[in-house]
Structure 1
Amino acid sequence: MQSFFRLLKIYWVIARFRLDTFLIGARLPWYVRVIVALLPWRIFFRAKGSSESRLRLALIALGPVFIKFGQTLSTRRDLLPPDLAIELAQLQDRVPPFSGVKARALIESQLGATVDELFAEFDPEPLASASVAQVHPARLKDGKSVVVKVIRPGIERVIRQDVGLLYVMARMVQNLWSEGKRLRPVEVVEEYEQTIFDELDLRKEAANATQLRRNFENSSILYVPEIYWDLTRQRVMVMERISGIPVADIEALHAQGTDMEKLAERGVEIFFTQVFRDSFFHADMHPGNIFVSRENPSEPQYIAVDFGIVGSLSAEDQSYLARNILAFFQRDYRLVAQLHIDSGWVPANTNVHAFETAIRSVCEPIFEKPLKDISFGMVLLGLFQTARRFNMVVQPQLILLQKTLLNIEGLGRQLYPDLDLWKTGKPFLENWMRERMGVKAMLKNIKQQAPDWIEKLPQLPQLVFDSLQQSRQSHEQKLQRIQHEQSLKQKQAQRTRRMMLLASSLGLLAVSTDPAINQWAQQMPWFGWAAAAAAWLLIWRA
């Protein structure tokens, strides 16, 4: 019955916000077009505003799970029209909180002690409330200020129910709409399902935060709050409380005299450091998750929170991505195309010339703008969309990277409109490439591999002996096989010669007893006999 009433609500929201307008002009089967044309709500509800804004409002009306899905969908700019992606990116997790009594009960059941035993102070009024969890301020017994993140009670059941409905709708879109297979809605729902269920385990978020804190320990550009592991469980996480200015509060940043140019450039530096130095990046860096320290405004420091979504690149992806970006800004489109093929992002049998031409047609118009106006995020998006036409395999880590870059870029331009990402990013990429390809990188690899080599060194003589023994046995087996094959060939040749000799002898005997042939033979000249004998010898020899 709950699923039935949920479907009724979805039906009502679709009607109220006239989401059927998305189907206008779509190539649908005739029976679906008839059903859409006869929908009763077309009489009672009028479509107000753009279809993109109505979809955003509809997702808000459907609740937190659909809001989160819209946020995830907004990151897939490789699949969505630009206007729709921008509209969905405005979705915010402003969800009504659940009661502090429920929060206390969940904390006590997870940590095995009462709230009064665990904390000196605990505020039942949440600081913030999102679709999956909410945060309460508290104070530890030693006086440290912390925040307690608590997963919403019963949210897992709601998520499973709504994700099931999303799968139903995704399959309908994929099967009934001609563009459905290209948009791959089922794949998007699968990606969303994995993301949101990962967020239900706060131990994963705590581990991500700890890794990022370790990567930026004593850093002047990024601060990551401390996680209190002894007070962290699957449904509860306790983290150091931070005090900073929300990065979107431009007026407050100006009021304290923040160096906005340096703040914007440091955001770009953090991104490149996470991606290329650490290969571990915060993949949910929207303005709601980023603050700026109130200390030392002339040397501004970012503070990050909410580590539920992180991304990682392999060493190969890092290298190919850096070389792609450098080649793009050098307008070496042949290298860009070849790198996509070498990395396995597009099939090996791709026509390099055709791919290069397609990339050039997308990228050349971008260079009509000044470098400071070129969007890194849109460059990557253009490359991925072009590569998709050549059967590029979707790389989830690259989608997260693209989303993060768009967030960082938009934020940086909001803080400092004249931000030149290329000016900030190029030296970092070039230094990274030199370090990766140079003598220092070779020495670093030797240093990393040396313990393994030393460990295996005592085994080396035995390994060499075993290898030689195997090689010798293999060689002997090969010789025996060759000798056996030669023996068989010789026996076969001997049998063949005997058969030929027998056949020719019987043939001569038959010929010599025939009177007509004897008379003809007496009249044949000597050179005829010589030719016949030579022919017979050749045949016998063969």
Structure 2
Amino acid sequence: MSRLLRLLKITRVVARYRLDNLFDGLPLPWYVRAWLMLVPWRYLWRCQRPRGERLRLAMEELGPIFVKFGQMLSTRQDLLPEDIAAELTLLQDRVPPFCGERAVRIVERALGQTVAELFSEFDSTPLASASVAQVHTARLHSGEAVVVKVIRPGINRVIRQDVSLLFTLAHLVQAVWSEGRRLRPVEVVAEYEKTIFDELDLRREAGNASQLKRNFENSPILYVPEVYWDYTHRDVLVMERIYGVPVSDVASLKAQQTDFRLLAERGVEIFFTQVFRDSFFHADMHPGNVYVSHQHPQDPQYIALDFGIVGSLTPEDQSYLARNFLAFFKRDYKQVAQLHVESGWVPRDTNVNDFESAIRSVCEPFFEKPLKEISFGQVLLGLFQTARRYNMEVQPQLVLLQKTLLNIEGLGRQLYPDLDLWQTAKPFLEKWMRERVGARALYRNMKERAPELIEHLPQMPQLFHGALQQLKQLEELELAARVNPEPRRGWDVHWGRLAGLVAVGAALLSAQVVTWPQVEAMPPASWVLAAAGVVLLSLERRR
């Protein structure tokens, strides 16, 4: 019943603001156009407001999930009509606030003290109001200027209703649409549910902020405010107050003579550093959450806010993404196709040559343009449309990354229209790949694991003895097999020998990592044995 009531409310809002008019003139299927012509409100009343304002007001009335969607759209001003993009930008920090006295009661209930006991100053008029929470300025008794973030009352119930409705629609899409299974809508909604409910716990946001601050400690390109943990609760977060220019306030940035090119390039650098160096990235980088420091406008520094949504990738996803990006930069479409198959993003039986040809047809037209005119967002969209023909499945763990990448590109182009996302990112990815592969990377990984290896060194003699015993037993089996031959797999006969070789190589290598300060000085024998172990494991995995 709650889902039905929510659906009726959405229908009423769509009708009230005549959002059906947004589809007029689009090349829609005939049955969709017929349905739009038959909706009753089309002939009952009209809305005189501009279309952008109608869309913004509808999203505000429908609640936080729709507001966040509008925030994401507002960053892609290169893809939206100007009037709609301008209105959606107002969603960043102009969501209607709730009563300040109610915010005071939430703070006092959460922290167990009165506002006067907690702060020397507290402004009950909100500084900013967002979809999930609003922010008040305050000052601690110790003198630090802070901001107090307070969760909206009743927001949990509203979000549960919307997520429940999304699950219903996702199950329906998956059941009746031929593309539903490939798009995995239920898994995508489940991933979004986890993300948005994590955002409702401000202790998680505080932890995310602390982690991001450690990752960029003393960085000249990104500053993260300090969290005051003694004043932090599930419903309340107290952080250092920052002073800067909203990244969307281009006029103020120009007035302080900001280097826009460097600012845009640093935005790209921050994104790729978070994704590939740290595997911990801010996944809600719309303009309302990004400021620019007043200090050193010729050497601009970003200030990040609102850490409720963060993302991370597995080492496998990191590697596949980096190799995909570099293959695109080099126009090596065969490698792109093979990586999609190897990663499992498309079925194993996909014809790589056909898939390569399809990818080339999407990407080549963009490379014929000047680099500054290439939109990564448009390329990504084209690739998704192409991959759909090859049953590419949506990867829920990459949804946040895709959204954040589009946000970063949209933000960068807003600041510096000539931003070349690909050329800016390529050197970073090449350096990352060099650090991830090769002898030095192996040495670094082994050195990080040196304490664990040293702990197991006393067990090595026993392992050697076991390996030699296994070799002896297999020699006896091989001799018996010559006397009484019977069908068997040749690989099994030699397995013990190779296992012993790996054990010896691992022991030598682990011991030498600790004793040799430079990887180039290590005897080559251990590298040969380690390589044999890699080959062995690869063959065994295929066996």
TM range (shorter): 0.7 to 0.9
| SS of the residue 1:120 aligns to | strand
CA contact (8 A) 2:126 2:137 kept: yes
1:516 aligns to what? none
Distance 1:235 1:478, change over 3 A: farther
Q: Does 1:102 align with 2:96?
A: no
Task: Give the whole-Å Cα distance in 2 for the aligned partners of 1:108 and 1:482.
Answer: 84
Letter in 2 for 1:137: T
Q: How far does residue 345 in structure 1 lie from its aligned partner after superposition?
A: 1.9
Question: 1:139-538 alignment to 2 at 5 Å?
Answer: 139-171=139-171, 186-466=186-466
Letter in 2 for 1:92: L
Distance 1:127 1:463, change over 3 A: same
Task: Give the whole-Å Cα distance in 2 for the aligned partners of 1:132 and 1:106.
Answer: 14
Where in structure 1 are there 5+ consecutive unaligned residues? 487-542
Q: How far does residue 306 in structure 1 lie from its aligned partner after superposition?
A: 0.6
- Cα displacement string for residues 257-299 of structure 1 (whole angstroms, at most 9, x for unaligned residues): 2112211111111112112211111111111111010011111
Task: Give the whole-Å Cα distance in 2 for the aligned partners of 1:405 and 1:315.
Answer: 18
CA contact (8 A) 2:206 2:237 kept: yes
Distance 1:467 1:184, change over 3 A: closer
Distance 1:54 1:297, change over 3 A: closer
CA contact (8 A) 1:198 1:308 kept: yes
CA contact (8 A) 2:208 2:307 kept: yes
Distance 1:313 1:120, change over 3 A: same
Q: Which moved more, 1:214-223 or 1:43-52?
A: 43-52
Task: Give the whole-Å Cα distance in 2 for the aligned partners of 1:186 and 1:133.
Answer: 27
Q: How far does residue 312 in structure 1 lie from its aligned partner after superposition?
A: 1.3
CA RMSD of aligned residues (A): 3.6
Q: How far does residue 360 in structure 1 lie from its aligned partner after superposition?
A: 0.6
Task: Give the whole-Å Cα distance in 1 for the aligned partners of 2:191 and 2:55.
Answer: 20
CA contact (8 A) 2:52 2:88 kept: no
Distance 1:439 1:184, change over 3 A: closer
Q: How far does residue 353 in structure 1 lie from its aligned partner after superposition?
A: 0.6
Letter in 1 for 2:162: D
- Cα displacement string for residues 353-396 of structure 1 (whole angstroms, at most 9, x for unaligned residues): 11101101111111121112212333333333322322223223
Distance 1:437 1:470, change over 3 A: closer
Question: 1:6-45 alignment to 2 at 5 Å?
Answer: 6=6, 8-18=8-18, 26=29, 39-45=39-45
1:540 aligns to what? none
- Cα displacement string for residues 176-214 of structure 1 (whole angstroms, at most 9, x for unaligned residues): 778777766555543432222111111111111111100
CA contact (8 A) 1:282 1:310 kept: yes
TM-score (norm 2): 0.77
CA contact (8 A) 1:264 1:413 kept: yes
- Cα displacement string for residues 49-82 of structure 1 (whole angstroms, at most 9, x for unaligned residues): 999986665333323343235557x5999xxxx7
Distance 1:413 1:241, change over 3 A: same
CA contact (8 A) 2:280 2:311 kept: yes
Letter in 1 for 2:273: T
Question: 1:49-128 alignment to 2 at 5 Å?
Answer: 57-68=57-68, 92-93=91-92, 94-128=94-128
TM-score (norm 1): 0.78
| SS of the residue 1:331 aligns to | coil
Aligned sequence identity (%): 66
Q: Which moved more, 1:318-327 or 1:379-388?
A: 379-388
Q: Which moved more, 1:62-71 or 1:15-24?
A: 15-24
Task: Give the whole-Å Cα distance in 2 for the aligned partners of 1:153 and 1:358.
Answer: 50
Task: Give the whole-Å Cα distance in 2 for the aligned partners of 1:480 and 1:76.
Answer: 73
Letter in 1 for 2:454: I
CA contact (8 A) 1:67 1:91 kept: no
Task: Give the whole-Å Cα distance in 2 for the aligned partners of 1:376 and 1:172.
Answer: 32
Task: Give the whole-Å Cα distance in 2 for the aligned partners of 1:448 and 1:194.
Answer: 33
Task: Give the whole-Å Cα distance in 2 for the aligned partners of 1:123 and 1:187.
Answer: 42
Distance 1:89 1:367, change over 3 A: farther
Task: Give the whole-Å Cα distance in 1 for the aligned partners of 2:168 and 2:137.
Answer: 40
| SS of the residue 2:238 aligns to | strand
- Cα displacement string for residues 468-506 of structure 1 (whole angstroms, at most 9, x for unaligned residues): 5577778889999999999xxxxxxxxxxxxxxxxxxxx
Q: How far does residue 236 in structure 1 lie from its aligned partner after superposition?
A: 1.1
The count of residues paired between Structure 1 and Structure 2 equals 478
Task: Give the whole-Å Cα distance in 1 for the aligned partners of 2:224 and 2:471.
Answer: 57
Task: Give the whole-Å Cα distance in 2 for the aligned partners of 1:272 and 1:83.
Answer: 26
Q: How far does residue 344 in structure 1 lie from its aligned partner after superposition?
A: 2.1
Task: Give the whole-Å Cα distance in 2 for the aligned partners of 1:173 and 1:319.
Answer: 32
Task: Give the whole-Å Cα distance in 1 for the aligned partners of 2:177 and 2:54.
Answer: 20
Task: Give the whole-Å Cα distance in 2 for the aligned partners of 1:132 and 1:167.
Answer: 20
Task: Give the whole-Å Cα distance in 1 for the aligned partners of 2:235 and 2:123.
Answer: 18
